[in-house]
């Protein structure tokens, strides 16, 4: 297989010179900014395009003239029926089938048995203990309101993702259409999904479920496509030789062979659903998210921590159980084994369920724990938090003053001071230097619509927040990743922590920063930084641990010192993985910036929340696309740079380079 052709040295030199000239022009515009015409500093109003009005007109046409409202109403009625069923079963809402609510001891026993079946006693204890915690802390109804939506949304998302992923696998045209849509969909912030749903559906649990379904479909589509492509051809040939029809080949050969990838997709759908259900409190979705939102607004830290612990425990349980399901292989029993032995866990579960219902009839505590009987850690937590804040407040107050006065405000003002023309040239120059004319045009195509939308200053504040937070995340995450990668045991522990942190819904990260810094830009930067540090640590460890040991041994035999081994061998080889980590960090930061607008920023996120409150679809989608374009541009530049670096290194190696 031939290596990728490298550009001729003269072509690379010309590309470098052109890029330098463009970057120099951008620098000149910055230096002489005060002497520039106003049109080069900010686009004049005459050039601002009414994207929001166009989108609103298109939505109005689709809703009123094409009859899309009737379709959405029919789908929402189906979802609402399913929600009524789960609401009745889980927390006793007066709906069909009118047999609920199921006692909490029964659900806790069910979770325990399911955990044992999937992962043994540890997972059983985690799953059962989580539901016991929820019950005894008096949070059962809020948790069941949240789970009642997840139980409905996940099957819908999985079915839609499976169907669309199969369509993309079957037809190249469908894949070509879906790929850019999925790229944008997975870059859009959460709030951008909510506004159209509110316009078509309204607010409440039904709207929360539908926006959750829409938000969590993309990962299932991608994993379905990946899984079907990864099925070995010999398995397909074996199926065909057995005389299967096309339907049998799909349902009994291809899909079972892609089981692991499909179940990983289900895991991602579940986690995406939990994240969105918590945030759907902004559109009237009751449950844990709504309660946490109310408590954070009231600055009731102790109760917020209690709710936060519940959300985290639910996230960990759902993540661990769905991952265990993905890796667990079917068990085949020998012939002659009794039915009771083969289904002993089912028999145990039936016995526990019967015992749970019996206990619930004997004493109402086992049916539902009332608020008066519930435990609470709020008072001691408030006391501990108060004492801790009192002890660290001199440091946090000084740090808040220093960061706001000497770092954040100057950096923000510097971003806002930059002329539009200089930023366009800067990004075009960077794109040209990394990927030639095509990359330069892609950068312009992503950034110019933001300028034309009239939201330039808000976008620059968003960019400033992301740049500062990701810079701090890199400064913290890379050293921690290097520390974690030093040996296998430590690496596995660090990765376990990263896995756990990545299961947390983003709302949770607001609790400690609000507690420490209050509601201001420092809290926003801190929340974004912590959220964005996790992927950097993870990918730094994975990049360094995945280097072939023979390369490391060869360098050691050549007399390389530990520092030379790290800087000249390991880190250069880990660059592709590190770039993926930086890319993920930027995407995490963009999502968190929009959510952190809740605690006070003046960026795109704040305007998106206003668009949500006024149900302005056009404005909300324009702002959402602005965030998505920033993320997609960073994604393109980073991955293009990493690929170019690898190509040059492999080319140099092929021609005797170092």
Please report the pLDDT score of residue 9 as a whole number: 60
pLDDT-derived band at 54, boundaries 50, 70, 90: very high
Percent with pLDDT over 90 in the chain: 64
| Inter-CA distances, 309 with 223, 343, 503, 511, 516, Å | 30, 35, 12, 11, 18
Domains of the chain: 1-31+419-453 (no CATH), 141-330 (1.10.3720.10), 393-417+456-658 (1.10.3720.10)
Q: What average pLDDT does the segment 464-493 reach?
A: 94
Please report the pLDDT score of residue 45 as a whole number: 92
Q: What average pLDDT does the segment 133-146 reach?
A: 95
Q: What average pLDDT does the segment 33-60 reach?
A: 94
Please report the pLDDT score of residue 11 as a whole number: 59
Please report the pLDDT score of residue 12 as a whole number: 63
pLDDT-derived band at 301, boundaries 50, 70, 90: confident
Please report the pLDDT score of residue 342 as a whole number: 84
Instruction: Say yes or no to pLDDT of 467 above 70.
Output: yes
Please report the pLDDT score of residue 22 as a whole number: 93
Contact in structure between 204 and 284 (CB atoms under 8 Å): yes
Please report the pLDDT score of residue 7 as a whole number: 57
Cβ neighbours, 10 Å, residue 94 = 9
pLDDT-derived band at 2, boundaries 50, 70, 90: very low
Which range is least confidently modeled, 136-150, 292-306, 576-590?
292-306
Average pLDDT, the chain: 90
Percent with pLDDT over 70 in the chain: 96
d(CA 140, CA 91): 8
Q: What average pLDDT does the segment 305-309 reach?
A: 92
Which range is least confidently modeled, 6-20, 68-82, 129-143, 478-492?
6-20
Instruction: Say yes or no to pLDDT of 570 above 60.
Output: yes
d(CA 18, CA 39): 25
| Inter-CA distances, 347 with 106, 150, 169, 366, Å | 14, 27, 41, 22
pLDDT-derived band at 4, boundaries 50, 70, 90: very low
SS3 453: helix
Instruction: Say yes or no to pLDDT of 3 above 50.
Output: no
- 125-149 burial code (b ≥16 CB/10 A, e <16): ebbbbbbbbbbbbbbbbbbbbbbbb
Q: What average pLDDT does the segment 400-419 reach?
A: 94
Please report the pLDDT score of residue 268 as a whole number: 94
Which range is least confidently modeled, 186-195, 617-626, 644-653?
644-653
Which range is least confidently modeled, 98-112, 185-199, 260-274, 312-326?
185-199
Residue 23: CB partners within 8 Å, gap ≥ 6? 425, 426, 429, 430, 433
Tokens at residue 623, please? 């702002």
Q: What average pLDDT does the segment 458-482 reach?
A: 95
Please report the pLDDT score of residue 8 as a whole number: 55
SS3 466: helix
Instruction: Say yes or no to pLDDT of 653 above 60.
Output: no
What is the helix (H) or strand (E) element at residue 324, kind and residue range? Answer: helix 301-327
Cβ neighbours, 10 Å, residue 467 = 14
Please report the pLDDT score of residue 167 as a whole number: 95
Which is higher by pLDDT, 337 or 409?
A: 409
d(CA 572, CA 544): 10
Which is higher by pLDDT, 599 or 324?
A: 324
pTM over 0.85: yes
| Inter-CA distances, 560 with 540, 556, 565, Å | 21, 5, 6
Q: What average pLDDT does the segment 355-368 reach?
A: 93
Please report the pLDDT score of residue 515 as a whole number: 86
Tokens at residue 208, please? 């929360």
């Amino acid at each position: 297989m031939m290596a990728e052709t490298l550009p001729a040295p003269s072509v690379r030199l010309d590309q470098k010179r052109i890029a330098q000239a463009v970057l120099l022009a951008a620098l000149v515009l910055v230096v002489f900014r005060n002497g520039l015409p106003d049109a080069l500093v900010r686009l004049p109003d005459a050039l601002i395009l009414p994207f929001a009005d166009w989108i609103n007109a298109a939505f109005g046409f689709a809703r009123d003239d094409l009859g899309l409202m009737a379709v959405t109403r029919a789908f929402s009625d189906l979802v609402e029926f399913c929600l009524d069923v789960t609401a009745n079963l889980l927390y006793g809402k007066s709906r069909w089938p009118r047999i609920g609510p199921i006692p909490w001891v029964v659900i806790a026993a069910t979770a325990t048995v399911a955990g044992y079946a999937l992962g043994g006693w540890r997972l059983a204890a985690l799953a059962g203990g989580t539901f016991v915690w929820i019950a005894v802390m008096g949070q059962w109804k809020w948790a069941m309101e949240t789970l009642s939506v997840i139980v409905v949304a996940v099957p819908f998302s999985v079915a839609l993702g499976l169907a669309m992923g199969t369509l993309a696998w079957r037809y190249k045209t469908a894949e070509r259409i879906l790929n850019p849509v999925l790229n944008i969909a997975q870059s859009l912030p959460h709030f951008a999904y909510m506004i159209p749903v509110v316009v078509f559906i309204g607010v409440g649990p039904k709207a929360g479920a539908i926006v959750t379904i829409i938000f969590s479909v993309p990962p299932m589509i991608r994993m379905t496509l990946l899984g079907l492509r990864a099925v070995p051809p010999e398995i397909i040939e074996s199926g065909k030789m057995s005389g299967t029809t096309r339907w049998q080949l799909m349902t009994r050969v291809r899909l079972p062979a892609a089981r692991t990838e499909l179940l990983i997709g289900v895991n991602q759908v579940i986690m995406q659903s939990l994240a969105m259900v918590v945030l759907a409190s902004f559109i009237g979705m009751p449950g844990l998210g709504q309660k946490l939102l109310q408590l954070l607004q009231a600055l009731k830290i102790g109760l917020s921590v209690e709710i936060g612990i519940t959300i985290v425990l639910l996230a960990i349980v759902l993540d661990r159980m769905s991952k265990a399901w993905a890796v667990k292989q079917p068990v085949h029993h020998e012939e002659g084994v009794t039915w009771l032995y083969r289904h002993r866990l089912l028999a145990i579960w039936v016995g526990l369920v019967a015992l749970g219902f019996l206990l619930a009839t004997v004493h109402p505590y086992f049916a539902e724990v009332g608020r008066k009987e519930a435990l609470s850690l709020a008072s001691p937590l408030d006391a501990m938090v108060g004492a801790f804040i009192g002890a660290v407040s001199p440091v946090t107050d000084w740090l808040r003053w220093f960061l706001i006065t000497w770092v954040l405000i100057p950096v923000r003002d510097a971003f806002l001071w930059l002329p539009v023309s200089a930023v366009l040239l800067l990004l075009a120059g960077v794109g040209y230097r990394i990927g030639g004319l095509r990359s330069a045009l892609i950068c312009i195509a992503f950034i110019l619509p933001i300028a034309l939308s009239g939201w330039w200053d808000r976008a620059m504040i968003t960019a400033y927040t992301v740049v500062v937070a990701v810079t701090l995340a890199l400064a913290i995450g890379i050293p921690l990743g290097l520390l974690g990668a030093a040996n296998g045991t430590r690496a596995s522990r660090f990765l376990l922590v990263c896995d756990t942190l990545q299961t947390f819904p983003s709302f949770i990260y607001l609790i400690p920063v609000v507690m420490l810094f209050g509601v201001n830009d420092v809290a926003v930067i801190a929340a974004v930084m912590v959220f964005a540090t996790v992927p950097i640590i993870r990918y730094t460890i994975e990049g360094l641990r995945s280097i072939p040991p023979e390369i490391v041994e060869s360098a050691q035999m050549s007399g390389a010192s530990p520092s030379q081994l790290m800087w000249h061998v390991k880190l250069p080889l880990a660059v592709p993985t590190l770039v993926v980590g930086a890319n993920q960090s930027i995407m995490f930061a963009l999502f968190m910036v929009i959510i952190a607008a809740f605690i006070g920023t003046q960026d795109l996120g704040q305007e998106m929340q206003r668009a949500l409150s006024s149900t302005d679809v056009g404005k909300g989608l324009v702002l959402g696309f602005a965030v998505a374009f920033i993320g997609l541009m960073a994604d393109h530049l980073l991955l293009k740079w990493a690929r170019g670096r690898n190509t040059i290194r492999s080319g140099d190696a092929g021609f005797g380079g170092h």
